[in-house]
A and B are shown apart, each in its own frame.
Chain A
Amino acid sequence: MTVYLLRRLALVVPTLLGISLVVVLMLHTAGGDPAELKLGLRADEASLRRLRHEMGLDRPLAVQYLDFLSHALVGDFGRSYRSNAPVADEVVSRFPATIELAIVSIVIGAAVGLAAGIAAGTRRHTLFDYTSTFGALLGVSIPTFWLGLALIIVFGIWLRWLPISGRVDPRLGADPSAHFLILSSLVHGDWVIFKDAAKHIILPALTLAGWPAAIIARMTRASLGEALDQDYIRTARAKGLGEGLVVRRHALRNALIPVLTVVGLELGGLLGGAVVTETVFSWPGVGKLTADAIAARDYQVTQGVVLLLGAVFVGLNLLFDLVYAAVDPRIRYAQ
């Protein structure tokens, strides 16, 4: 296990360097000359040149990249062209909203996906199976942003059951971005805010949960189906074990291992990929920050967010790979 851990860790550094090289080269001058963006179109050539020099844009690209990297290593990702606030601060203050949404979504997605996948996998070629398979097809075919819009239309506009944007009603006076709203209101026993925040998270969480639920259901069905065809299952049945026990004790334990990886991958995707859903619901997380930064051509922020989220994604993948190797010895010996 230690060897596997070290080998896997050694891969992380070049991956992160590679990502940073690609992202910085692509974004640092995307949308035009940063000096021009900052000073506006009417700036004269002399002050443009001075600002370019101040921003270090007149140095060779390799030097600029190394400079960026050395700052990034100590948590300095530059400043937003728009607000002049440090990019790292903006990302950190927006991250809790995204984490909260991602966790609620993956819990819903995994619960629905597992239930549907197990129902389908144990009753193959029945109505259960077909319904769950069709649901999974819808889950991977409906565009996320339209699922969000459809939920807004039905539950927000027609039925008026749930709020359609933001994290919490601003009139309640809760800070909408600084912390884990649901968790902290729960801890402090602030039921009014807790109830309101919980109501706000339902629609975006359902929207985000659709895709992972579908992927997890498919994976569980396939994996469980395969496990149920194995010889040891026949043995378990032959010794007179009830079907429920056969599934729970023998089939599921093996079938769920690959599902675990999928859950990890999807969680990473939710943390880094909620750009669209957060935009639909004006959810004040890092995804919305990315979308706003792009709309305002603030590529310093875009670059910082993409890099930080990329690092989180790589870290989560590593974590789940290690968990995977820990629960399934075949993985680490196969390497």
Chain B
Amino acid sequence: MSATGTLVLSRPDETRIREAPRLWQRFTRNRLAVVALIILGGLGLLAAAGPLVVASPTEQNVRVRLQGPSRDHWFGTDEVGRDIFARVVNGARISIASGLASVLIGLSGGTILGLIAGYREGRIGLGVMALVDLLLALPAILLAITIAARLGPGLISAMLAAGFVGLPGYARLARASTLTIKRREFVEAARATGLSGAAIVRRHVFPNILTPLIVQSTIGVGNAILLVSALGYLGLGAQPPTPEWGQMLSDAQRYMLNATYIGIFPGLAIAITVIGFNLAGDGLRDALDPVASR
């Protein structure tokens, strides 16, 4: 975290608002960040309005099963004659919502634990971090599988699993930022005025550790989408006939020898979505922290 990034947010509110246009300018000067905005904007539109326009994602029609892309079915049809384009479009809503929900779970849990561990150093802080580090002691996919298996297969389980997998990252980041912020003078000053620990954390520490957390969670959405779709592929996530991209690919693999196209579009959709979030995260980091981007 550079001094510039922190300064921007540690000034009083009016300056923060005046900084916003400059931040936007820095963000949009980055060509890749603009690409990210276009991708995410398009996906947002697709997720919001797409399902209203396209055909039904679950309607089966065996007379047109396993047909390649055509004018009637842009991405072709699957093994029971469902329109793959309709399924991919409907999947956008599911993937984006599940990615955002997972990050919200990991981010809120991680931030609270990180704030506690950072502000109360000593035994409480160490205890909290030991628990958090335990989540890091297993490879991500194994932890996710364990959680999803415990909760039973389903989209909600996959979201919760992806959320928990992300949690330790946010907790560590929040703790590290809290440790630096709480030694700053304005926190000292707040303490001198007799504010309680909880109030100091809420009003003075929390707003100042947000910047790195926002950058991290933007990239985190992409990672969560990857994990949710991997769990879907393994059969632990969304269940048929939900048009979830990972789950669609697991079905597709069985028919791929004869109909290669059905293995292409859902994967492409995941990749484009994740690229969008990763680029947006990189762009945000560069805009908020110009020193690190050189």
Contacts and interface: CB of A to CB of B under 8 A. Distances in A.
Partners in one complex: yes
Interface of A: 14-15, 18-19, 22-23, 26-27, 30-31, 137-138, 140-146, 149-150, 152-153, 157-158, 268-269, 271-273, 275-276, 279-280, 290-291, 294-295, 299, 302, 306, 309-310, 313-314
A310 B142 CA distance: 8
Nearest to A134: B32
B284 interface: no
A82 to B, nearest CB: 15
A157 B134 contact: no
A314 B149 contact: no
Contact of B150 (A30, A280, A309): A30
Contacts of A27: 146, 149-150
Given A146-B267, A295-B235, A309-B139, A275 B145 contact: yes
Contacts of A18: 130, 134, 137
Contacts of B199: none
Interface in B205-250: 222, 226, 229-230, 233-236, 246, 249
Contacts of B267: 142-143, 145-146, 149-150
Given A30-B152, A153-B263, A295-B235, 19 more contacts: A18-B134, A22-B146, A26-B149, A138-B275, A142-B271, A142-B274, A143-B271, A143-B274, A145-B233, A146-B249, A146-B271, A149-B256, A272-B138, A273-B139, A275-B142, A276-B233, A294-B149, A299-B149, A302-B146
A27 B148 CA distance: 10
A294 B236 contact: yes
Interface in B35-70: none
A18 B252 CA distance: 39
29 contacts: A15-B134, A18-B134, A19-B138, A26-B146, A27-B146, A27-B150, A31-B152, A138-B271, A141-B226, A141-B271, A141-B278, A142-B267, A142-B271, A143-B233, A146-B249, A146-B266, A146-B270, A150-B264, A152-B263, A153-B264, A157-B256, A272-B142, A273-B141, A275-B145, A276-B141, A276-B230, A294-B145, A294-B235, A310-B137
Interface residue SS majority, chain A: helix
A137 B145 contact: no
Given A26-B147, A158-B260, A149 B137 contact: no
Contacts of B264: 150, 153
B146 A275 contact: no
Contact of B274 (A19, A141, A150, A314): A141
B274 A313 contact: no
B139 A149 contact: no
Interface in B110-155: 130, 133-134, 137-142, 145-147, 149-150, 152
A62 to B, nearest CB: 19
